[in-house]
Amino acid sequence: MRIGFIGLGNMGAPMAANLAGAGHDLHGFDTAAVAVAGVTMVESATAAATGADVVITMLPNGAILRAVAAEVLPVMEPGATLVDCSTVDVDSARDVADQATQTGLLFVDAPVSGGVGGASAGTLTFMAGGSDDAFAKAAPLFEIMGQKAVHCGEAGAGQAAKICNNMILGVTMIATCEAFALADKLGLDRQKMFDVVSTSSGYSWTMNAYCPAPGVGPQSPSDNDYQPGFAAELMLKDLRLSQQAAESADADTPLGQAATALYEQFVEAEDGMGRDFSAMLPRFVQRGRR
């Protein structure tokens, strides 16, 4: 396929490189001056989209997605597909999907899980929303960029799945860090804590696969001084999206709300900016009840 790729940052660049490596004809655009192996860089989003069978976007937020869509949808060929892999608010995804449909185009919202490592290795998970035809058009590309793609429903369903998943992730990481900090203050060895919880009812991804305690469990950012695998400010972004969605849907999410407030404090008033989201552990260890 001829593919236009817009947004070649830490995630987009390796995703585009994997598509180019699989033999697709990639034309890329980013507001920063970047070079990506196998990708022909062009001077604008519209140049990347013109003549493309599929246009893929990986952008910071919904406002930028809407702006880019306003540029590229008018120049895309009828029947072409816009695949947005950004994590944005559900309303933005659905609005862009409506615009695409009105102009005879297919649209898939397909946010990802797996981080920069997964983007480089081609092991991302895609959570996709859109029509059956749109998903079928994008599916072969998901197979190159990732290890799994789940068709979650109509447009917006991919964003809904990502937001719900990451609300669970944020809440669970806080609970895991709180428990380790409590264990420390009760004199419980961290390895013993891990050995018990990882094989009993406290089992979770944040404990077993991404343990926030250095030297315990599989290798994780905690073993690298909390250099980010998934930055705290990105977790804050996703939690804010979850609460925006909860407000729009009239959903009661008290733990999601509390997690959002804690990550806001950690990122904006403490030392969380630029650290992994699991760096909540030393934050709790340093604090007391009073």
Catalytic sites, residue numbers = 162
Residue type, 247: E
The phi and psi torsions of 210 (rounded to 5 degrees) equal -140, 45
Write the CB contacts of 200 (distance below 8 Å, at least 6 apart in sequence).
Answer: none
Q: Are 24 and 143 in contact (CB under 8 A)?
A: no
Q: How far is CA 61 from each of CA 64, 159, 219, 251, rounded to the nearest angstrom?
A: 6, 12, 31, 22
Residue type, 24: H
Q: How far apart are CA 46 and CA 4, in angstroms?
A: 9
Give one word for 26, left, alpha or beta, with left for phi > 0 and alpha for psi -120 to 50.
beta
Q: Are 60 and 37 in contact (CB under 8 A)?
A: no
Nearest alpha carbon to residue 96 among 116, 78, 73, 118: 73
Q: How far apart are CA 54 and CA 185, in angstroms?
A: 54
Residue type, 237: K
- Alpha helical stretches, state H, 50-199: 62-72, 90-102, 115-121, 132-145, 157-185, 190-197
